[in-house]
Structure formats: structure tokens, C-alpha cells
Structure 1
Amino acid sequence: MVAGRYEEADDEARIAAELAVSVDDPAPVYWADNDRGIIAFNQGRYEDAEEFLRRAAEGARRDGSDSAEASALGNLSRIQLALDRVEKAIDLARQGVGIYERIGHTLRLANARYALGVALTQAGRHTDALEQLSEAMELFEANRQRLWQGTTHYRIAQTHLAAHRPARAAQHCEQALAIGCIGGDRIRGIVQITLGRALSTLGQADRARACWLEAKSLLDPAGAPEAEEARELLGAEVTV
């Protein structure tokens, strides 16, 4: 899944869940549902993702696994954002943060703060978002999670761009591309879209176009829904 090979990852998660059901072992089932929810989200199948993640959260709660429940809640928060249910997304992410703070799981707390930061960005609460994302970055760095550091740089870039700070957004996008991100070519293409937007706002039209061309070349083969955004930006030929 980290490499962006979602169909293969989904098959593996499905098989793992089927085997776990056959031996009446609940934990692999809700962890597989969690993984399949993430995969469906990355493929743009939001209704499927929501169903998988609700099942994951409920299964973990029944089994008494606080960590697994919090993970599913954080991922479910991302689905709510995709469906434009921003306040629900913030509430779910805060629940995840609260669970991890209570049980003292620092790496997972980083993921929860990341999810909350993303939700707060979409709500337009940029200062609060940057606080959560910066704390997540520190935890990822302390746990040597470089790909998550890169991904968090991208989210910080999004927040700065939304707050009309394109130069800082471009800087964080470049750091994300240099470090690498979770999600393979798809996320790299999405970062290139954001970098192009920042550069275009700064009046660097040629560099912006190069970013969008690179994004298209990465996103088209993956069948990513964001490929259409890259094509639209290339066709617009205007500052965005």
C-alpha cells in the first residue's frame, strides 16, 4: 500500500480477513477493514471506504482494542472530509487524538494529529491546523518515519497555500518531494499539483506548468482521480 499498489494490497487484506474469520480471530478482520478503507479512499471509492472504516472502528471497539479504534476513527475522519462533512471529520479526529493521548502511543498519536490537522485546514482554521501538523511532524521525526515526515510537509504546504502564503507552500512541497511521501506516484503527483499552484501564484508560470505536466504523467497511469485536475490546470493557462 505504501508503494501505491492498491489493487494488490486490497487483495491481500481481503484474503487476510477471510482467513481470520475462518479461525474466529477478530483482530485481523478489523485491521484488514481498516486497510481496505484506506485503499478505497485512495482510489476515490468513498462510500466503500466509509463502510470498511465504520466496520473497523466497531470491530475494534467490540474487541477492546483502543489503538485500532483510534486508527479507524482517524481514517474515517479523512472520508468525512472527502464527503465535505468537515465538522464531523474534526470530531472524529479529535476522538482519535484523545484515545492515543490516554493510552500513550506516541507514533499513532502523530497519525491522529496529522488527521486533525488536515481536517482543520479544510475548515479554514489554519493556525490550529499548523499547530497539529507541526506536532505530528515532531513525533514522526522522533520515530524516524521519513515518509510520514514528507507527507506531513505536503499537508503543511496545503495549509500555507490556503492561508495565502504561496512561498512557504512551495518550500514545504519541495521538502515533501525530496523526502518522499506515503502513497507512491499518486501522492507525488498530487504534491506536484500543489507545488504548481503555489508557483503559479508567485508568477512562475513555466515552472508551474512543468509541475502539472509531471503530475499528469504520474497520475494518468495510476488511474488517479486527481489526473483530471492536472489536465484542467494545464488547459487553463492562467494563474490559479
Structure 2
Amino acid sequence: DPEERELALSRLLDFYLATAAGVYALERPGDRLVDHLEPTGHTGLRFANRHDAQDWLYSEAGALLACVCQSSGPEALRRAIDLLWAALDLAESGANSKQYEAAASLMLDAARACGDLRAERRALVTLSNAHLGAGRFAQADKEARHVLELSHDAHDPLPDCWAFNHRGVIAIYQSRHEDGEKYLTQAIEAFRTGENLPGEASSLCNLSRVHLAMGRTASAVALARKGIDIYDSMGHSLRGANARYALGIALTRSGELAEATNSFLEALEIFRDSRQRLWEGMTLFRLAEADLAGDSPAQAASKAEMALTVLRGIGGEWRRGNVLTVLGHALGGIGQSGRALVCWREALAIYEDLGSDEAADVRRLLMRVNAEQA
């Protein structure tokens, strides 16, 4: 019977939302999102530890996302979108990113069809996050910008916080450093207003990346350390790994390579333990950069090749281009100039297809090599 079916689906949605909220709270203690989710009629499962919680989330991913896609009616819409947000590890890890993105896009269309502004803003955040993880920065920025353009809801401040944070991260990747500093400063202020310390720590670590790009290395290191202090004080294992990743980048740039490597290795262990393939691959890439800076090209080549393997099919082409560029440098350092050229040509094709600024740097590399061989 259709009515009984809808009631059963609603109960299942309640169960998934309540349980996913518990998983989110275990992974991100102190994060205020769990205080701003739609109420449910089910208490959900409770887990003894974060590993059991992760096991549940990834094993239930297919059914959970299918439940979201079947819950686009006005009575269930807000709960379905909140379930997507609470289950964002499915997108960030790369494990179920395509299915997550499809569900987020469907929920955005449903929210607009229902004229539900609160649901639309939250759906935009989930879709922006999906595009960001896949390396589609223009689309991610478009969705985050729409969040901020829609009427502000004083009773639902979280979409603004994360939209500012997303726009700041995207600006980093697009080398718009002044914009990045502006958006991330706004994100920090918004998170502080909402007393959301983990969100503030995330924006501080992202701001570290901006300061590094602007040549403010000491400030970049200090900001990343502050992010680590906040995460560690709240018992954040996974997010603390993200902060150590940011610190490792800053320390590599400042020439403190031994400490940078230790920071990356600490992050890598946590990312692997948390099944975060995207960040596992990116940390291997950053370790390769540190090895190159320390004049260890053979080690750098090994880590860059591992990064390409881990990132296969996730993270987007822009990130793949970055790894290929570093791999080319490493291969050149061990006398494999032919393989280095192959890497750089592939990276150039990626950057040109994306219209990325990095294309000019790789083009100069290839011109220099060609001139040396002439």
C-alpha cells in the first residue's frame, strides 16, 4: 500500500539520520552540526568506538543514499538533506562520491521544487562539498556562492559558515589568495559566533595554506599548530590529521623537512585507519614533495607513484596533474628523463583542458628540457 510504504520509508529515514548523526558526533566531537539536524522519531544505533561507526556507515552507504533519493517529498526532504550532510564522509573519502553527488543534486532540485529555502541552502552545501572533493572547483564555488546569495536564516547559520569555508578553500586552489583570506576570515568569525570550535579549526588550517601562498610562512605554521591544538583538545582524530597535513605543508615550505615528514606520517596513519582514500593519496603526494625538497628523488618517485595508485578514480584530474608534475621532477632526479617528460606532458594536457594556471609552469618545464636536449 502506498501510504504504508511511505510510512515505512519515513521510519527508515529516521533510523538512518539518527544513526549517521551519531557517527558524525564520534568523528567530530564538539561539532555543532549535530545540534542543528532535523528531529527524528528514532534514537538510532550507538557505537562503542569510531571504527564500529565507520564500518556501519560504509557498509550501509548504498542503502542510505538510496533512501535519500527516495525521500524527496516535502514531508521527508529536510531529513533527507540532513542525512546527506551527516554522512559527508561518503563523499570526502571518495568511497561513494559519485552516488553522493547524484543524491545531493536530486535533493537540490527537490528543495527548489518545494520552495523550501532552508532545505535548498543545505542541499547546496552538500553539493558544493561533493564537487570540491572531485576537483570541480568552479562548480563547487558556484554552489557555495548561491548559499550566501540566498536569504540568510538567523536560525540556520551553518550553511553560511561552511559556504565561506568552501569558497576559501577553492580560492586557494585557484591561486586567488586575497579572496581566500577574506572568505576564511569570514568563516572563522561565523564559526566563532556559533561557538563551533571544530569548524573554526578547519578554517584556521585552511587560512594557513593562504598565508603560505602569500609568503607568510611563520604565520602559516602558527595557524596550523593552533588548528591542531583545538582538534587535539576535543579528541578529533580524523580532523586532527587534516590539521597535521596543513602543518606538514607549511613546514616543508619553511625547510623543516624532518618535522614536516613526521607530521605527514602521523596524518597518513590516521587517514588510512579512517578509510580516507582521497587524503591518504594526497598525503603521499605531500610526502613526495618533502622528499624532493630533501634531495631524495628516488623516495619521492616511489611515494608519488603510490599516490597515483591510491587516487585512481577519485579526487579529480587537477589533483592528478599535481601528482604527475611532482613525479616528473622525481623521475628526472634519478635520471629517468623520458618518463619525466611523459608525466609532464600528461599533466600539461590535464591543466590545459581545465584551463588551470599550472599549465604555464609545466609548459616552461617542457620548453627548458627541450632546449637542453637540442
TM category (shorter chain) comes to over 0.9
Quick check: 2:208–2:220 contact (8 Å CA) kept in 1? yes
> Residue in 1 aligned with 2:231?
100
Match of 1:10 in 2: 141
Residue aligned with 1:21, SS: coil
The residue identity in structure 2 corresponding to 1:223 is G
> Which letter does structure 1 place at the counterpart of 2:345?
L
Alignment-derived partner of residue 52 in structure 2: none
Q: Radius of gyration: which is bigger?
A: 2
Q: 1:184 is matched with which residue?
A: 316
Match of 1:205 in 2: 337
TM superposition shift of 1:62: 1.8
Offset at residue 71 of structure 1 (A) = 0.1
Partners of 2:298 and 2:365 in 1: CA distance = 19
TM-score by length of 1: 0.96
What letter corresponds to residue 263 of structure 2 in structure 1? Q
Q: How many residues align?
A: 239
Deviation per CA, 1:190-238: give whole Å up to 9, x if none: 1111111111111111111111001001111111111111101100015
Q: What residue is the counterpart of 2:119 in the other structure?
A: none
1:141 aligns with 2:141: no
1:222 matched to 2:362: no
SS at match of 2:133: coil
The offset of 1:25, in angstroms, is: 2.3
Please report the RMSD computed on the Cα atoms of aligned residues, expressed in angstroms: 1.5
CA distance in 2, matches of 1:123, 1:25: 40
CA distance in 1, matches of 2:242, 2:315: 15
Residue 371 (structure 2) pairs with residue 235 (structure 1): no
1:111 maps to which residue?
242
In 1: Cα distance, 2:181 partner to 2:260 partner: 23
Write the distance in 1 (CA, Å) between the matches of 2:366 and 2:179.
31
Deviation at 1:22, TM superposition (A): 3.6
CA contact (8 A) 2:147 2:159 kept: yes
Asked whether 1:53 is paired with 2:184, we answer yes
Runs (5+) with no aligned partner, structure 1: none
Matched, 1:80 2:211: yes
Aligned counterparts of 1:158 and 1:150: Cα–Cα separation in 2: 13
Counterpart contact for 1:154–1:191, Cα < 8 Å: yes
Q: CA deviation at 1:18?
A: 3.7
Q: Is the 8 A contact 1:77 1:88 kept in 2?
A: yes
Q: Secondary structure at the match of 1:124?
A: coil
| 1:64 match | 195
- Bigger RCO of structures 1 and 2 (CA < 8 A, at least 6 apart): 1
Gaps of 5+ in 2: 1-131
Q: Secondary structure at the match of 2:152?
A: helix
Please report how far the alpha carbon of residue 20 of structure 1 lies from its aligned counterpart in structure 2 after TM superposition.
6.5
Distance 1:22 1:46 in 2: 29
1:130 aligns with 2:252: no
CA shift at 1:59, angstroms? 1.2
**Structure 2 residue identity aligned to 1:228:** A
1:7-46 equivalences in 2 (<5 Å): 7-19=138-150, 21-46=152-177
* One-letter amino acid matched to 2:239: R
Amino acid in structure 2 at the alignment position of 1:224: S
Identity %: 46
Question: For structure 1, which segment, 68-77 or 5-14, has the greater mean C-alpha deviation from structure 2 after superposition?
Answer: 5-14
- Kept in 2, the 8 Å contact 1:20–1:29? The answer is no
Contact 2:300–2:327 (Cα < 8 Å) also in 1: yes
Conservation of the 8 A alpha-carbon contact between 1:56 and 1:72 = yes
Worse-matched range after superposition: 191-200 or 93-102:
191-200
Q: Output the CA distance in 2 between the equivalents of 1:112 and 1:165.
A: 25
Does structure 2 retain, via aligned residues, the 8 Å contact 1:113–1:133? yes
Q: CA deviation at 1:166?
A: 0.2
**What is the identity, as a one-letter code, of the residue corresponding to 2:353?**
P
CA displacement at 1:8 relative to structure 2:
1.3
Residue 37 of structure 1 contacts residue 52 of structure 1 at CA under 8 Å; is this kept in 2? Answer: yes
Once residues 203 and 28 of structure 1 are traced to their aligned partners in structure 2, the CA distance between those partners, rounded to angstroms, is 50
The AA in structure 2 aligned to 1:48 is: D
Deviations 1:41-60 (A, max 9, x none): 11111111110001101111
Query: How much does 1:23 deviate?
Result: 4.6
| Distance (Å, rounded) in 1 between the aligned partners of 2:184 and 2:151 | 17
Maintained 8 Å contact 2:278/2:315: no
Q: Equivalents in 1 of 2:304, 2:357: separation in Å?
A: 20
Normalising by structure 2, what TM-score? 0.62
